[in-house]
Amino acid sequence: MTTSWITRPETTADLAQIREVNLAAFPTPHEADLVEALRADQQAWIPGLSWVTEAPDGSIAGFALLTRCHVDGSPALTLGPCAVQPEHQRRGAGAAAIRAALDAAREQGENLVLVLGHAEYYPRFGFTPASGHSIRPPFDVEDKYMMALVFDPSLPVPSGTIRYPAAFGV
C-alpha cells in the first residue's frame, strides 16, 4: 500500500510522540534517550532539522534527525536516529522523513551529511561510502556502513575523523 506522507519539522507538541516512535521502533530505549540528549545539546541541535512524518490520522508515523558533528574541525551533519512506528514500516514513512530532513539541511546551506547505517538502504538517498571522501569514524566499522552524502561536490569536502556529539558516547 502506498501512502502520501505529510512531512514537517517537529514542534514541541510532538516530543512525546517522537519518543513513542523511537521506543516502538527499537528494542531498547537507547535511541529515544539519545534523541532527548541531542535535543538538549546546544552544540549539536539545529532548529529545523528534526522532521516527522504524519500518518493519515495525524499521529507521528516516522522521524528523522540531523544534528551537528564535525570532520576534524569542519562542520558536518549526522543522520540519526531515524525511526518508524512498526505498523507504518516499509511503507515510505521513514524515507519521507529522511528526504524532508535532507532537503531542509540543503536549504540551510549544509553540504555534508554522514550516516552509520544499512548499506542497502541509505544509498537510495545518495549516500556513498565515506571512505571515498577520506572520512572515517572514530571506531572500527565495516567500510560500507559508514556513508556520506555531499550536496554540492563543487564545494570543498573535509576529510578526517568524525567527531560526534557527546550524546553518542563515542
- Tens of pLDDT, residue by residue over 9-56, are 999 999 999 999 999 999 999 999 999 999 999 999 999 999 999 999
Pairing of strands 135-136, 160-163: parallel
Does 62 reside within a domain? yes
Please identify every stretch of the chain with a pLDDT value under 50, giving residue numbers as ranges: 1
In a domain, 78, yes or no: yes
Q: Is residue 90 part of a domain?
A: yes
Give the pLDDT score at 2: 53
Residue 65 forms part of a structural domain: yes
Judged on CB neighbours under 10 Å (0-12, 13-18, 19+), 158 is: middle
| pLDDT value, residue 80 | 96
Q: Give the range of the structural domain holding residue 156, as residue numbers without chain letter.
A: 6-168
pLDDT tens digit string along 9-21?
A: 999 999 999 999 9
- Supply the pLDDT for residue 3: 65
Q: What's the confidence (pLDDT) of residue 160?
A: 98
Answer whether residue 127 is part of any domain.
Answer: yes
Q: What local confidence, expressed as pLDDT, does residue 34 receive?
A: 97
Does some domain include residue 1? no
- How many domains, in total, are found in the chain? 1
- Tell me the three cell numbers of residue 37: 540528549
Does residue 16 form part of some domain? yes
C-alpha cell at 62: 516516522
In a domain, 47, yes or no: yes
CATH number at residue 52: 3.40.630.30
